[in-house]
Each structure stands twice: as C-alpha cells, then as structure tokens.
Structure 1
Amino acid sequence: MLKMRLFWFLGLFFLGLNSFAQKTTQTENIILITFDGLRWQELFTGADSLLVDDTGLIETPGSLLKDFWHPDPQKRREMLFPFFWNTIAQHGQIYGNRAYGNKVDNSNKMWFSYPGYNEILSGFADDERITSNSKINNPNVTFLEYLNRMPEYRGKVMAFGSWDVFPYIINKQRSGIPVNAGFDLAEGENLTEVEKTLNRLQQEIRGPWGEVRLDPFTHHYALEAIRTKKPKVLYIAYGETDDWAHGGKYDQYLWSARQTGKYIQEIWETIQKDPHYKDKTTLLIGVDHGRGITKTSWKGHGESIPQAGQIWLMAMGPDTPATGEMKMEGQWNSSMVARTVFKLLGLDYPDPKAAPFVKEMVK
C-alpha cells in the first residue's frame, strides 16, 4: 500500500497535475538548477573506477584517489557530492538510480544540449524543430516565459547560464526575461560592488572555451541576484562538466562536479537564511543529457550513444516529501519539470501539449 501511495504521489508531483481549484502548496519561489552533461553514474556511485586513475584522462596518476576514491560506491558518491547525499537525500527526493529500476530519461531523441534544455524548460521534446545547438530563438514558450507573462511574476523571473546559447533557448528577445549567459556582464545603473568586480574579472579571465564561461562567474552573478533582486523564479545553468568531459579530462570533470555541488549548497544555505525564501522555496535540480559509459564514449553524447539519454532529477522544498533516494521502479522524464513547477506554484500549465501527455502517463 505504501508503494502504491508513493507511486501516486510521484506521478502527481512530476507530472504537475493540478487537482485543486485553489493553491494548496507552500511553495512561493522556484530555483531550477541544471548541470550540463553530468552522468547519473557519478551521481549515484561516485568516481568511475574505469576512469578515475587512467593516465590518459587525468593529468597526474593517483591524484584523484584521496579526494574521490573509496571501494564503497555510497561512500564515493558522498565524497563527490556531500550536500546531495547528506542534505537532499535526507530532506528531499533524488531520482534516476537505474540499479533500482528508477529511470529518468530525455523524451527527446537528440541527447545533446539545446534539445535537452528546451525539454526541461518548455515541458516537451521538439525533435522536429530543435535539431542543433545553433543560436536560434526557441519557437517554444518556456515555463519561465509563461510565468513572466503573469502579473504576479512579471519582472521577477531571471536566468543565469555559463553557455552563451541560453538567451536563445529562453528566447530573451520575445520573453523579456533577463538572461545573463556566456560572457555577458551585469548591466544597470546601480550595480553592486560584487557585480562590478565580477564584470572586471570576467573580462580578464576568459577560460578555455569560446562559448562557455567558467562556472564561478555564473554562480556569483546568480547568488548576488538572490541577495539583492529577490527573484521569485530563478534558473541557473552550470556548464563546465560537459566541456571538461568533451576534452577527455576526467579530473577536471570531477572537480567541477564537486564544486557545482558546493555552489548549490551555498545557494540553499543562502535562501534558508533569507525570510523572503526560507521555507517557501522549492529547489529543483536536473541535467540536459547523459553520456557514454566507456573510456571513449563517456566524452560524448548524442543519439549515436545509447546511454546518453539517461539522466536524473532532484527536488527539495516545503511541498516535497523527504523520501530521499527513490528506489521504486518507474519511468520519469525531464519533460515533467515544467509542469512540476506550475503544480508547486498552484497553477495549471498552459501548454496545450500537457493534456495528452498527462492522459497517457496516468492510464
């Protein structure tokens, strides 16, 4: 009976079904955070034994073992992501451990970034129109844009990303949402000293990629916005993990993954100290796509790599039961995130594709 009740709740939660005529949730604010290309294997089992001491994938042999290696995979994952496994696993929900048949997948069949982010933000895959990572304005309306059209949220939706394609994914031009991404600087007449410093440093420290800035800039621009602008809906997209993986640098991939976990912890601790957010904010965390599982295929993703559509999701907040690591069999998709956001805010999702999607999933 407990399993059936949990299944009913989880279907309701991640599908975003709105069964009530009025708001019954405590969530008033949403913070959505995404990694780029972080595998479920590292999330649930820590550093990969196949990769962690490979001289072709790390700069110094043995350099990762002290910080990331333990023969017990549960210990390894805590070493990599202490906040996730000591806090979210205690107070929230973590989906995607396929060892238990708990599956999370992309609905899209592209398995690379723009289609993955479109799916998360718009609530459905669009394999006919979203077929590349080109800087083309998204024809689909994201949940961020839907909310920004509503009087209660207008001007209170913000986005920060490391990849310079996010202004197009969110369709900054049409949506009117402030998107600071790539090598954008903080703008406005009343910049804080933190923003001024970040602007200067970002122009001086370019990083190794032409289209993706280093995550510390994305993080601290977003953190300063939380402290000073108090957005009700905030999207933060970290990007380093995918780029280090494409470069075949497993050491940098792990270090960036752990640092991103620490950034998320800092965000959570910051909002828990702020009356504007404390006990009124739900944190959702996900990923745009997965990766391969061999020494060569882990560097890449896309439809030619079978495991690249395997992903994961997390949630923590006042309306999320503290059921921890989900070990029940089931299938979830990143397309459920947008409707979950609306459900948490006590709203009906306006996307016309929602009805057939929900109907199919609850048969």
Structure 2
Amino acid sequence: MRIILASLLCMFAGIAAEARETKTETVILITIDGLRWQEVFRGADQAFFDQEGYIAHKKTHDAFKAAYGLETPEASRSALMPFFWGTIAKRGQLYGNRDKGSVGQLTNTYHFSYPGYSEILTGFADDARITSNDKFLNPNQTILEWLNAMPENAGKVAAFGSWDVFPYIINEERSGVPVNAGFEVYDGLGANVSILNELQEKIPSPWDTVRLDAFTMGFARAALNEQKMKFVYISVGETDDFAHDGHYDQYAHAAHRSDAAIAELWTWLESDPRYAGKTTLLITTDHGRGSDSLEAWKYHGRFPYTREDGTKAVSDFKGDDAIWMAAMGPDTPALGEVSGGEPVILTQVAATAAKLLGYAYKGSHETLRPGAPILPMLGGE
C-alpha cells in the first residue's frame, strides 16, 4: 500500500510540476477569417486603391488612401494594424512574412473555412470527412472539448464566433462547450450584455450567416469578465466576407477594427488581476486568399466545378494556403517579426495552446495526429 501511495504521489507531483512549467493560466485563441499575410506584413495593397469595383464607398476613398497609402510597407502595416506592430512585434512573436522567409501553412486540401477551423481546433486535417462549409457536426474532438472534459476546466472553456457554423465545428451538444455564434443571443450577465443583445437584433448585418464582429468580441469580453476562464476561442469574420464581396477598403477597415478590438481586450486583460501576467494570446487565420491577380484576391478554396465547355476542373487560387500567426504572453519570448526558421502549421495551434496551459495534447482521431507545439512560442528552440 505504501508503495502504491508513494507512486501515486510521485505521479501527481509530476503532473503538478509539468503544469508549473508555464506561467500561462488562460489562453485566448483568436482567428481573423481570411486575412492575408500580405496585409499583415505589407499593409494595404495600393494596387487596389483606384481599381473600379473594389471600393465600396467612393466618398471616403481619399481618406482611405491617405490613411493606408504610405510610402513604405512598414508604415502602411503599422497604420493598418497598430497593435500588431506597436505591441505584439515588441512583446511577442509574428510568423508568416514570406518576404523574410517565414512560412505559415495550412495542410487541409480544401482551403476554406470549416476545414481550416477544424484543422486549427483539432490539430489535424481530416480531408476524408471535413469537406465542405455545410452545417454538419464535426466528428472530431476539438481542443475545447478536450479541455472542457477535465474537471478543473469545467465551465471555464467557451467559444464566440461571428459565423453561424461554429456550433457545428465545435459540436456544441456533444462537447458541452458553450458556443455563441451567428446571431444568437448571449445568455450572460451584465448591463453591457443586455445592450449588445438588443443592438444585435436592431442593427442589420450585410450577410445572412455572419454577424458584425463587435458583438462577437463584446460577448467574449463579457464571458471573460464574468469569471476567470481557462480557454476562450474568438473568431471574427468581417474580413473574409467583405473580401468575397470585392470591397477592398472595407476588408482593410475590418482588419483595422479587429486589431483595435484585440488591443482593447489586451489592455483590459492586463488591468485585471485575474489575467494580468497570466494570459497568452494566440492569433491566426483559417486560410489565405488568391494572390496572383486583383480578381483572384476575392476568392480562396479548392472545389470541383464544370467549365463552359462541359469539362471538369478544380478551382485553384494561388496563395490561399498561406497563413500567418502571432503569439504574446508570459511564456513567449519577445522575438518580434520572425525571419526564416521552421514553417508554422495550422495543425500546431491546438498543441501549442495545450502546452501553454501545461498539458500534452494528443488529439482524438484514430490515425491522424496533431502537430507538435511551436517551441519558440514556449521559449524553446
């Protein structure tokens, strides 16, 4: 009995020691749908500035050009995403600038949202079963479900998405993870929640399946304020939908608003003793966009179609497999904009988040294994 007891004590001590390897107590994973690496690292693309059909609001176009049409990519990107370049680039890490040899990549075959989000959240690309953006329940377990199943994390894992497919991607009913997405009312506490719910009903979205990102960020902030959370996933979507609509200026404005919302969230986290110095941000995107023409920029994805002559083909938008990543928190050294090095892959996000929280993520698939943690984000090499 003493031997068994001693073994158990050693085992529990080992688990505790592993958990104490990191300072992170909360991970907030944020995705900005379909935001290209080119805008993140080069700023607004001036090739779109005077192209007919890509500007939604002509009366504000001169102001748009003045704000982002600066002399250098460094100046333009800082104007477009000031938090990324004024804070994360100084205190965290940025990956995916292919101009400097840093490669970010997805691995799923399809290069659109459901497969991309599933790859991020499960740690692997299930090309056999995750083949469309339809509302079908994900057969795979996400890191949210995996964390939520642990008694110490119960009630401390949640997801907020602008796209109404997230309850299916995360498989809300099976996982037990609360998912607020699309135009759902948020059943949370506080006066701000009541106001946001009322405004969400009254303010129209341009799209049938995607709400405005301010509501998604507001509801996520309310959940973080209500109690100390372990893992919160936030997905904003305006960038992708404005891009599909062909409105480059609105796409850029949406990226700027996302940057500002993340800045506001981080400032609040740093002011709250429950989160300050104990929280890591992981930020990425689910896919890239076409990059070889102004028209291709609106699109992404690989799917079969029939040509005008009746022959079959598969769409291919060059560059839509390129992604980027950012990380900042107490365990992440301030490497800034990374040049060269090993590629970062969407399959690595889940294991990196788990490792920051002191866990080793194994995934749930019979044969597909999640990517390894991104060691530089954890202070390794």
TM-score by length of 2: 0.86
Query: One-letter code of the match for 2:248?
Result: Y
> How much does 1:170 deviate?
0.6
2:308 matches 1:296? no
Q: Which has the larger radius of gyration?
A: 2
Query: One-letter code of the match for 1:51?
Result: F
Partner in structure 1 of residue 49 of structure 2: 52
Task: Mark the runs of 5 or more structure 2 residues left unpaired by the alignment.
Answer: 1-14, 303-315, 376-381
Q: Is the 8 A contact 2:351 2:370 kept in 1?
A: no
Query: One-letter code of the match for 2:185?
Result: L
Q: Is the 8 A contact 1:162 1:213 kept in 2?
A: yes
Partner in structure 2 of residue 129 of structure 1: 129
Q: Is the 8 A contact 1:96 1:312 kept in 2?
A: yes
Query: One-letter code of the match for 2:47?
Result: L
What is the CA RMSD across the aligned residues, in angstroms? 1.8
Partner in structure 2 of residue 41 of structure 1: 38
Instruction: Output the CA distance in 2 between the equivalents of 1:22 and 1:196.
Output: 37
> How much does 1:342 deviate?
1.2
Query: One-letter code of the match for 1:39?
Result: R
Instruction: Output the CA distance in 2 between the equivalents of 1:246 and 1:346.
Output: 39
The correspondence for 1:335, drawn from 347, 355, 365, is 347
Task: Mark the runs of 5 or more structure 1 residues left unpaired by the alignment.
Answer: 1-17
The correspondence for 1:251, drawn from 246, 249, 252, is 249
> How much does 1:289 deviate?
0.3
Q: Is the 8 A contact 2:32 2:235 kept in 1?
A: yes
Q: Is the 8 A contact 1:107 1:125 kept in 2?
A: yes
Q: Is the 8 A contact 1:88 1:324 kept in 2?
A: yes
> Size of the alignment, in residue pairs?
340
Q: Is the 8 A contact 2:23 2:331 kept in 1?
A: yes
Instruction: Output the CA distance in 2 between the equivalents of 1:307 and 1:290.
Output: 6
Compared with structure 1, are the counterparts of its residues 119 and 24 closer, same or farther at alpha carbon in structure 2 (3 Å cutoff)? same
Partner in structure 1 of residue 9 of structure 2: none
Partner in structure 2 of residue 242 of structure 1: 240
TM-score by length of 1: 0.90
- Once the two structures are superposed, residues 296-341 of structure 1 have per-residue CA deviations (whole angstroms, 9 ceiling, x without a partner) of 0110101211210100000000000000000124311111000001
Partner in structure 2 of residue 326 of structure 1: 338
SS of the equivalent of 1:90 reads helix
The correspondence for 2:320, drawn from 300, 305, 308, is 308
Query: One-letter code of the match for 1:309?
Result: D
Partner in structure 2 of residue 114 of structure 1: 114
- Once the two structures are superposed, residues 274-304 of structure 1 have per-residue CA deviations (whole angstroms, 9 ceiling, x without a partner) of 1110101110000000001221011010121
> How much does 1:37 deviate?
0.2
Instruction: Output the CA distance in 2 between the equivalents of 1:205 and 1:307.
Output: 35
Q: Is the 8 A contact 2:348 2:372 kept in 1?
A: no
Partner in structure 2 of residue 7 of structure 1: none
Partner in structure 1 of residue 104 of structure 2: 104
Query: One-letter code of the match for 2:326?
Result: M
Compared with structure 1, are the counterparts of its residues 243 and 70 closer, same or farther at alpha carbon in structure 2 (3 Å cutoff)? same
Instruction: Output the CA distance in 2 between the equivalents of 1:113 and 1:291.
Output: 12
Q: Is the 8 A contact 2:120 2:286 kept in 1?
A: yes
Compared with structure 1, are the counterparts of its residues 347 and 268 closer, same or farther at alpha carbon in structure 2 (3 Å cutoff)? same
Compared with structure 1, are the counterparts of its residues 53 and 64 closer, same or farther at alpha carbon in structure 2 (3 Å cutoff)? farther
SS of the equivalent of 2:327 reads strand
Query: One-letter code of the match for 2:227?
Result: K
> How much does 1:273 deviate?
0.4
